[in-house]
């Protein structure tokens, strides 16, 4: 019997994939990744079984997600067209887990339930090609005969699958780094998103501001309001607080890898707060050239993650550069949250390059104003003829 390991999310597509692959003569092993999405894993397990999966793995990948994927990206400040990459970052991790299980189960096939129009197929398959090129890939959604969700539902009914799926208005992808929302009414890019499109954040304009203190050690968040916590706990906590202020809400048009522009909503309170805090610390401790160069690195890093190139050599090289810069990204940042605003109100570091005695406009500055005269003269020399 041919064995296939499928990245199973529990939605309609992957559930129909299980049945479709079984009908084609495969033994299906479903892998469910727990990366902090709020779902009932017992229910997903049952759904996979009812669809025909022979074996189900529920893998708790939260710690690995934080340590091996989120933190390196936060240190790099990787971002793609304003998007903090929650979905994009989870794919290489799930791909890696699927390969691990394929080895354990001695399967020769890997499968995902992504469509031919999206980025996720690229992320899974590039990861698989780089990790384990000898395993063969099946992408049922790209191949099968169903042309719409309704046709998939019809097939599921015919086959007697008890999917018990709520009729969903949007396509939602969630993990602990953020939520991505698309489809339905959101496809009209000219129209304001309906209020029910936002899944975790609330917007209440009359909320009192709240102050938070975040401590970083070498680029990693290590304490919140002076309490030491694991980075994963800080992320969960900041999501809880930030969602009440609708922090990290974005309504973006993005360029997909496959050349399509799409409209997507994002909610990522924790990512927004941590990126802002992390960056403010970098502005304090980096010299200007490092700061400018690191900006280029964030753009490239974000692009690699978005395009599914997590396991590429360049991402590894960039990590080494970023790691070297983070030695000094230690200190404390104070933040004030207002509805939809995350404001830095103070920052401190023992590596600070900010020198009050130089910067002050008050008495006793170390900076001698007369130095400026010669400096400006020299600067102007290449621009005009000297008399
Ligand atoms: N556009 C995002 C990305 O490519 C999210 C894709 C999944 N979105 C969704 N609503 N299911 O990473």
Residues 218 and 89 in one domain: no
E-strand stretches of the chain: 2-7, 26-34, 55-60, 109-111, 136-138, 171-175, 178-182, 210-217, 220-224, 227-228, 249-255, 261-267, 331-338, 341-348
Let me know if 120 is a catalytic residue: yes
How many residues are recorded in the chain? 387
Of the residues 9, 19, 47, 120, only one is catalytic, namely 120
Residue 370 lies in a domain: no
Residue 161 lies in a domain: yes
Coil vs helix vs strand at 368? coil
Number of domain units in the chain? 2
Let me know if 225 is a catalytic residue: no
Coil vs helix vs strand at 132? coil
Residues 188 and 149 in one domain: no
User: Quick one: tokens of 202?
Assistant: 């609330």
Q: In ligand 1, which atom is closest to the CA atom of 181? A: 10
Residues 126 and 150 in one domain: yes
User: Quick one: tokens of 332?
Assistant: 């404390």
Residues 181 and 289 in one domain: yes
Q: Kindly report the CATH number assigned to the domain that includes residue 182.
A: 3.90.1260.10
Residue 35 lies in a domain: yes
Domain that residue 164 falls in = 2-170
For position 387, what pLDDT does the model report? 67
Residues 34 and 126 in one domain: yes
Of the residues 19, 45, 91, 347, only one is catalytic, namely 91
Residue 367 lies in a domain: no
Residues 232 and 341 in one domain: yes
Q: Which residues of the chain are modeled with pLDDT < 50?
A: none
> What residues pair up with 332 in beta bridges, in sequence order?
215, 348
Residues 154 and 182 in one domain: no
For position 161, what pLDDT does the model report? 84
Let me know if 13 is a catalytic residue: yes
Ligand 1 centroid distance, CA of 349 (Å): 37
Task: Select from 135, 170, 205 the last residue of a domain.
Answer: 170
Residue 365 lies in a domain: no
HSE-CB at 55 with a 13 A cutoff on CA atoms is: 15
Residues 166 and 200 in one domain: no
For position 263, what pLDDT does the model report? 98
Ligand 1 centroid distance, CA of 7 (Å): 16
Which residue, among 251, 226, 315, 335, has the nearest Cα to 81 in the 3D structure?
251
Our mutation pick for probing the ligand 1 site, out of 86, 116, 119, counting the most ligand atoms within 8 A of Cβ, is 119
Ligand 1 centroid distance, CA of 75 (Å): 22
Residues 44 and 184 in one domain: no
Residue 382 lies in a domain: no
Residues 139 and 158 in one domain: yes
Residues 249 and 292 in one domain: yes
Q: Kindly report the CATH number assigned to the domain that includes residue 122.
A: 3.40.50.620
Residues 274 and 155 in one domain: no
Task: Select from 153, 170, 187 the last residue of a domain.
Answer: 170
Ligand 1 centroid distance, CA of 322 (Å): 26
Residue 176 lies in a domain: yes
Of the residues 34, 64, 132, 171, only one is catalytic, namely 171
């Amino acid at each position: 019997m041919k064995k296939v390991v499928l990245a199973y999310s529990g939605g309609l597509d992957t559930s129909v994939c299980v049945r479709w692959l079984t009908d084609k003569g495969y033994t299906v092993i479903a892998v469910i990744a727990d990366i902090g999405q709020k779902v009932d894993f017992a229910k997903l397990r049952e759904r996979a079984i009812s669809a025909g999966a022979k074996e189900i793995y529920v893998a708790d990948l939260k710690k690995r997600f934080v340590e091996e994927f989120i933190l390196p990206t936060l240190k790099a400040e990787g971002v793609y067209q304003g998007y903090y990459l929650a979905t994009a970052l989870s794919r290489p991790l799930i791909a890696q887990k699927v390969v691990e299980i394929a080895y354990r189960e001695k399967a020769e096939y890997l499968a995902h339930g992504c469509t031919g129009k999206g980025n996720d197929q690229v992320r899974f398959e590039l990861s698989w090609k780089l990790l384990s090129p000898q395993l063969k890939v099946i992408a049922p959604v790209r191949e099968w005969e169903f042309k719409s969700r309704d046709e998939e539902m019809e097939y599921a009914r015919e086959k007697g699958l008890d999917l018990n799926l709520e009729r969903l208005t949007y396509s939602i992808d969630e993990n602990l780094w953020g939520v991505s929302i698309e489809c339905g009414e959101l496809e009209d890019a000219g129209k304001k998103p309906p209020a029910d499109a936002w899944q975790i954040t609330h917007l209440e304009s009359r909320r009192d501001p709240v102050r938070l203190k975040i401590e970083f050690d070498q680029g990693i968040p290590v304490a919140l309001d002076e309490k030491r916590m694991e980075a994963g706990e800080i992320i969960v906590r900041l999501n809880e607080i930030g969602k009440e202020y609708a922090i990290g809400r974005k309504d973006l048009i993005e360029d997909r890898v496959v050349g399509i522009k799409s409209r997507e909503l994002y909610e990522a309170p924790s990512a927004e707060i941590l990126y802002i805090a992390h960056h403010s610390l970098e502005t304090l401790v980096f010299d200007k050239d490092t700061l400018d160069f690191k900006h280029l690195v964030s753009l490239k890093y974000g692009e690699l993650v978005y395009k599914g190139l997590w396991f590429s050599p360049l991402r590894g090289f960039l990590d080494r550069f970023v790691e070297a810069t983070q030695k000094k990204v230690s200190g404390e940042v104070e933040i004030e949250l207002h509805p939809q605003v995350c404001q830095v109100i103070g920052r401190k570091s023992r590596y600070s390059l900010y020198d009050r005695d130089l910067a002050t406009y008050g008495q006793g500055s170390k900076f001698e104003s007369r130095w400026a005269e010669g400096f400006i003269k020299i600067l102007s020399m290449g621009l005009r003829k000297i008399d």
